[in-house]
Homo-oligomer: A and B are copies of this chain.
Amino acid sequence: MKNGEDLRSDADEPDTKRKKCEDTETVGNDDAHSCDTIPGQQSQHSPSVFAFQDFKLIKVLREDARQKFVTLHGSLGPNDAVVLLERKHFDVPSLEKCLRHTTCEETFHNDIYSTFDVFSGGHISHMKATLIHPATEKHIAKYTEREPFVIRETPELYKRVVLPCIEESKFSFQWVYNILEKKTESERIVVEDPDPVVGFVMVPDIKWDRKNIEALYLIAIVHQHNIRSIRDLTNEHLPLLKNVLHKGQKAIQETYGVTSDKLRVYFHYQPSYYHLHMHFTHVKFEAPGTDALRAHLLEDVIDNITLNSEFYQQKTLSYVVRENDALYNSFQDKNYFRKESE
């Protein structure tokens, strides 16, 4: 265990927050070709140096493609060196100017969608651009950050606001039934148990490339219809839940060599679709939706129901809705947000 003050922070995170702060302090940017932050210190004009000309790589210590961050162990002369490299965030105030002067190479084109490798101030592409043009209001809405609100959903709010919203949505489960009945994706099935009560089908999530084991992401869909979410679970479902957990873990170990102590197994609440399903992801993968405000560990759900069969009918559940979600609109229609601010 580490000692003292150092324990207060997880020090091996990239420098996002500090840089953000620098960004806000940067005033203007006269270089029309730059898409990059020119931080305050740089105006001191330190002399350029070839600091790494003798660098020899020994090992890549850590790599984070999501954050564009890599940590290297190497040598510089007789000594060891650790080098942290991270891509800089965009200098947003100068982005318009920058984009107009960049050259691009089109890498994909289909209808209104195209992607480019973008070159700014050199012959090497440091970024990718995706263009949707002409864009409709729906495209603009889809890519706009929508304001999040934390909901504290009591059992009473579930019955009065959420359940009617689910029932009104008349969402089709045909694509789910197609998977369960092997009409589609049957070649993708990793494991299945055809039992109508405790059975399920497990398939790779469409977000997973099925190659990068550390980004492993599988979905188990239960055969039973009409279990909408964890809100519907009681102790009568314990055999189903335990069966999915154990057979799912076993299949992942046999198929991908990933043991159960490397897996995060959970429900979403709210889920994306109201037919009961579980997520199996690799703990090394920071999958979207693993936040404590959305993910409910399957083993915790089993424990909670075992102690109290009605746990998920009695529990207040917290989660985030976003402006213009159907659920957000339902809460607003029922004056939930007005009540909160009163």
Which B residue sits closest to A302, measured CB to CB?
B316
Which residues of A, 124-153, contact B by the 8 Å Cβ criterion? 124-136, 139-140, 142-145, 148-152
Interface size on A, residues (CB 8 A): 166
Q: Chain B's nearest CB lies how many Å from the CB of A152? A: 7
Any chain B CB within 8 A of the CB of A172?
yes
Any chain B CB within 8 A of the CB of A186?
no
- Partner pick for A66 among B47, B67, B121, B341, CB 8 A cutoff: B67
Is the Cβ of B133 less than 8 Å from the Cβ of A76?
yes
Is the Cβ of A212 less than 8 Å from the Cβ of B17?
yes
Which B residue sits closest to A37, measured CB to CB?
B125
Which B residue sits closest to A283, measured CB to CB?
B148
Any chain B CB within 8 A of the CB of A257?
no
Q: Chain B's nearest CB lies how many Å from the CB of A41? A: 5
Count copies of this chain in the complex.
Answer: 2
Is the Cβ of A150 less than 8 Å from the Cβ of B262?
yes
Is the Cβ of B207 less than 8 Å from the Cβ of A17?
yes
Which residues of A, 43-63, contact B by the 8 Å Cβ criterion? 46-57, 60-63
How far, in angstroms, from A316 to B306 measured CA to CA in the complex?
A: 12
Is the Cβ of B84 less than 8 Å from the Cβ of A127?
no
- Partner pick for A95 among B13, B57, B108, CB 8 A cutoff: B57
Which B residue sits closest to A108, measured CB to CB?
B41
With contacts A42-B105, A124-B31 taken as known, whether A206 is within 8 angstroms of B72 at the C-beta atoms is: no
- Give the chain B neighbours of A125 by CB distance below 8 A: 36, 38, 42, 88
- Give the chain B neighbours of A121 by CB distance below 8 A: 122-124
With contacts A117-B42, A127-B86 taken as known, whether A3 is within 8 angstroms of B148 at the C-beta atoms is: no
Is the Cβ of A116 less than 8 Å from the Cβ of B82?
no
Per-residue contact bits, chain A 103-122, to B (CB 8 Å; 1 contact, 0 not):
11111100000101111111
Q: Which of A4-12, A192-200, A225-233 contacts B (4 or more CB under 8 A)?
A: A4-12
Is the Cβ of A259 less than 8 Å from the Cβ of B293?
no
- Give the chain B neighbours of A145 by CB distance below 8 A: 61-63
- Give the chain B neighbours of A114 by CB distance below 8 A: 51
Any chain B CB within 8 A of the CB of A291?
yes
Q: Specify which of A87, A165, A318 lies most central, judged by the most chain B CB atoms within 10 Å of its CB.
A: A87
Per-residue contact bits, chain A 325-342, to B (CB 8 Å; 1 contact, 0 not):
111000000000100110
Per-residue contact bits, chain A 1-30, to B (CB 8 Å; 1 contact, 0 not):
101110111111111111111011000000
**Beyond the given A9-B205, A80-B134, A303-B315, could you list 5 further A-B residue pairs with CB under 8 A, ordered by the A residue number?**
A18-B209, A19-B128, A34-B124, A67-B67, A84-B129
- 21 A-B contacts, Cβ less than 8 Å apart? A1-B325, A3-B171, A4-B175, A7-B171, A15-B130, A21-B209, A49-B104, A50-B102, A52-B99, A53-B100, A60-B95, A61-B143, A63-B145, A67-B68, A73-B135, A73-B143, A80-B133, A122-B124, A148-B284, A259-B341, A300-B318
Instruction: Give the 7 A-B CB pairs with smallest separation, nearest first.
Output: A122-B122, A79-B134, A292-B295, A1-B326, A21-B209, A57-B96, A87-B87
